[in-house]
Amino acid sequence: MNLPLNIDLQQIFLHMLNFVILAGGLYFILYSPVKKFMDQREAHYAEMDQAAADKLAEVEEQIRSGALQVFDPSTFTVEGAELTTCMALDTDGWVT
C-alpha cells in the first residue's frame, strides 16, 4: 500500500519495531545493571554514614560520662613551666 509522497507504512512500522527492540535491549543491558549498582552504592554509603553517626554519639556520651578522657593540650608543661606559645626549633636550630 503506497501513500502519497511515496510513504510506505510497512517500512514505518518496521522502523518503529526496530527502535522498540533497540530501546528495550539497551534498557535491560545497560540501564538495569547500572541502576542496581547505584542503588547498592547509595545503600552502602547510607549505612556507613549511619555507623559513623552512631559511633560519634557513643563517643560523645562516653566523654560526657567521663568514661573516656580526651587529650587536653592546655595542660602541657615543659620542664614544669606552662606553655604559652607554640614555638619549636627546626633541624637547623631556628625557632619556628
* pLDDT at residue 69, as a whole number: 77
Cα separation of the two ends of the chain: 92
* pLDDT at residue 7, as a whole number: 79
Grid cell at residue 70: 580526651
Domain regions of the chain by residue span = 2-70
Residue 29 CA to residue 21 CA, distance in Å, equals: 12
* pLDDT at residue 8, as a whole number: 84
* pLDDT at residue 45, as a whole number: 97
Q: What is the pLDDT along the chain (96 residues), one digit of tens a residue?
A: 566 777 788 889 999 999 999 999 999 999 999 999 999 999 999 999 999 999 999 999 998 898 887 776 667 777 777 766 666 677 777 766
39: Cα separation from own chain's centroid: 12
Grid cell at residue 25: 535491549
Residue 53 CA to residue 46 CA, distance in Å, equals: 11
